[in-house]
Amino acid sequence: MRSRAYNMQSAHVKIKTVGLLSGGLDSTLAAKLMMEQEIDVYAINFTSPFCTCTPKKAGCAAVVTAVKELGGIALKQVALRDEYLEMVRNPKHGYGSGMNPCIDCRIMKIKKAGEYMRRIGASFLFTGEVLGQRPMSQHRRAMDIIDLESGFQGYILRPLSAANFEPTIPEKEGWVDRSKMLGISGRSRKAQIALASQKGIQDYPCPAGGCLLTDKNFADKTRDYFNYTEHPSVKDIPLLKTGRHFRLENGDKVIIARNGNECRKLIDLRRESDHLLVPLNFSGPAVILQGSSLPAAVEQMLYYTKKPVQETALITHAHMGNNKTVFLYETLNKSFMSAYLQAVQ
* Beta carbon of residue 209, minimum distance to ligand SF4 (angstroms, whole number): 6
How near is the Cβ of 47 to ligand SF4 at its closest, in Å?
9
DSSP annotation of 133 reads: S
Contact residues toward ligand SF4 (CB under 6 A) are 100-102, 105-106, 137, 209, 211, 213-214
- Rounded to the nearest whole angstrom, what is the least distance from the CB of residue 281 to ligand SF4 in the complex? 44
Enumerate the H helices of the chain as residue ranges: 4-7, 25-35, 61-69, 82-89, 102-120, 140-150, 169-172, 190-199, 216-228, 237-240, 260-269, 294-303, 328-331, 334-344
Neighbouring residues of 143: CB distance < 8 A, sequence distance ≥ 6: 129, 131, 137, 158, 165
Strand order in the sheet with 253-256: 244-247, 253-256, 287-290, 275-279, 314-319, 322-327
Closer to ligand SF4 by Cβ: residue 96 or 170: 96
200 and 68 in contact (C-beta within 8 Å)?
no
Report the candidate in 211, 19, 242 with the shortest Cα–Cα distance to residue 101. Answer: 211
Residue 17 CB, nearest approach to ligand SF4 (Å): 21
Task: Name the minimum Å distance from CB 169 to ligand SF4.
Answer: 24
What's the min distance (Å) between Cβ of 144 and ligand SF4? 16
Q: Judged by CB, which is closer to ligand SF4: 214, or 331?
A: 214
Nearer to ligand SF4 by C-beta: 27 or 100? 100
Give bridge partners of residue 289 from the DSSP assignment.
Answer: 254, 275
Query: How near is the Cβ of 340 to ligand SF4 at its closest, in Å?
Result: 44
Return the number of the residue (100 or 161) whose C-beta is nearest ligand SF4: 100
| Beta carbon nearer to ligand SF4, 105 or 286 | 105
179-182 — which CB contacts under 8 Å span 24+ positions? 180/33, 180/36, 180/37, 181/33, 181/157, 182/33
Please, what is the minimum distance in Å from the beta carbon of residue 24 to ligand SF4? 10
The residue among 101 and 243 lying less far from ligand SF4, judged by its C-beta, is 101
Closer residue to ligand SF4 (CB): 211 or 326: 211
* 77: CB partners within 8 A, 6+ apart: 44, 45, 46, 47, 59, 60, 63
**CB-based contacts of 285: which residues, under 8 Å, 6+ apart?**
256, 257, 258, 262, 263, 279, 301, 304, 305
Nearer to ligand SF4, 219 or 315 (CB): 219
Backbone torsions φ then ψ of 318, nearest 5 degrees: -115, 135
Q: What is residue 268's three-state secondary structure?
A: helix
